[in-house]
Structures are given as structure tokens and as C-alpha cells.
């Protein structure tokens, strides 16, 4: 099945700080969307809201400070039942975040869009973890096309 994959590296933080950014609601609000509700615990649902877009994920696994697994239970049709994996590791003096959005049924144009969109948010996360500004969906967010909504 086609996957979206990404990798960012941060020199000035440890795995714990990267883990916090994907394991807590506050962390997720700082780089993906400020409109996130639900409790980030295994078995719970995290709800993300954008301008008009919606996505809900069930938390499948949380292994600090290494791994988070989610399953999409609400949102765009093409996202239903797909999985999002965050893996954190240290390599060559950097903290690495490996990202996967797995289980796409088809290589659609929307998948192309989502790949760039995830990259844009993850590059925002890297910028933030490197000491820069927050840039989640909202006023400072840089749209990648009219599909960013």
C-alpha cells in the first residue's frame, strides 16, 4: 500500500522533547492545529480541526520517548483506517523524527497534496524545536494550495 514518509532532524533537543511535541495535546497544537481536543492516551480519540477540515485519530500506542501510533477513525474518506506513525531516535548527534502515514488505498492527487502538507507541518515543527516561531494551521500557516483548508 502507498505510504507518505518524512524525516526531520534536530540538533539541539533530545528525544523527550520531540516525543512531547507528538504525544501531548499542547505539543500537537504547537505545530499541527491549535484546535485539538481529546486526551492523548491509548484507546482515546484525538480530534483535530482546521478551517473546514476534520480528522480524528484513535491512539493505538504510546511508547515514550520512541513511538506513537494512531489510527484514523474520522476525516476525509481516503484517510479512514489509515495509520500515522511517529518514530523518534538518535542518530549522529541528532534527534530524528520519522513520520509515516500508511495504508492509503490508492495513489491519488489528494495523497500528493497530503504528502506536501505533512511536510509543511513537520518543517514547522522542526523550525519550532530549533527555537523558531510556532506556525500551526492558522494565521502564520503557509498554504500549499487551495486544498489547504
Q: 68: part of which helix (H) or strand (E)?
A: strand 67-74
106: cell is 490508492
CB of 121 to its own copies, least distance (A): 10
DSSP 8-state assignment for residue 140: T
Looking at 93, 106, 133, 139, which residue binds its own copies (CB under 8 A)?
A: 93
Q: Per-residue x/- marks for its own copies, 47-86, CB under 8 A?
A: ----------------------------------------
H-type alpha helices, 33-140? 109-129
42 binds its own copies (CB under 8 A): no
Member of 96, 103, 134, 141 binding its own copies (CB under 8 A): 96
Tell me how many residues contact its own copies (CB under 8 A): 35
Taking the C-alpha atoms of residue 19 and residue 38, their distance in angstroms, rounded to an integer, is 18
Indicate whether 112 belongs to the interface with its own copies (CB under 8 A): yes
Collapsing DSSP to helix, strand or coil, 128 comes out as: helix
CA atoms within 13 A on the CB side of 143: 9
Phi, psi angle pair for 43, to nearest 5°: 95, -15
How far is residue 73 CA from its own chain's centroid? 15
**Region binding its own copies by CB under 8 A among candidate stretches 22-30, 32-40, 44-52, 104-112:** 104-112
Question: Which position among 37, 44, 144, 149 is part of the footprint of its own copies (CB under 8 A)?
Answer: 144
Round to whole Å and give the CA distance between 20 and 143.
25
Q: Is 99 in the site for its own copies (CB under 8 A)?
A: yes
Binding site for its own copies (CB under 8 A): 2-11, 92-94, 96, 98-100, 107, 109, 111-113, 115-116, 119-120, 122-123, 126-127, 142, 144-147
Amino acid at each position: 500500500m502507498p505510504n507518505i514518509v518524512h524525516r526531520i532532524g534536530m540538533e539541539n533537543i533530545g528525544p523527550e522533547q520531540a516525543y512531547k511535541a507528538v504525544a501531548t495535546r499542547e505539543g500537537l497544537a504547537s505545530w499541527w492545529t491549535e484546535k485539538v481536543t481529546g486526551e492523548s492516551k491509548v484507546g482515546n480519540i484525538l480530534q483535530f480541526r482546521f478551517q473546514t477540515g476534520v480528522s480524528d485519530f484513535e491512539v493505538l500506542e504510546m511508547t515514550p520517548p520512541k513511538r506513537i501510533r494512531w489510527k484514523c477513525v474520522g476525516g476525509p474518506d481516503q484517510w479512514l483506517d489509515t495509520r500515522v506513525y511517529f518514530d523518534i531516535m538518535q542518530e549522529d548527534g541528532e534527534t530524528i523524527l520519522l513520520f509515516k502515514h500508511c495504508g492509503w488505498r490508492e495513489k491519488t492527487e489528494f495523497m500528493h497534496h497530503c504528502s506536501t502538507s505533512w511536510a509543511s507541518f513537520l518543517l514547522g515543527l522542526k523550525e519550532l524545536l530549533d527555537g523558531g516561531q510556532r506556525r500551526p494551521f492558522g494565521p502564520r500557516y503557509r498554504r500549499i494550495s487551495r486544498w489547504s483548508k
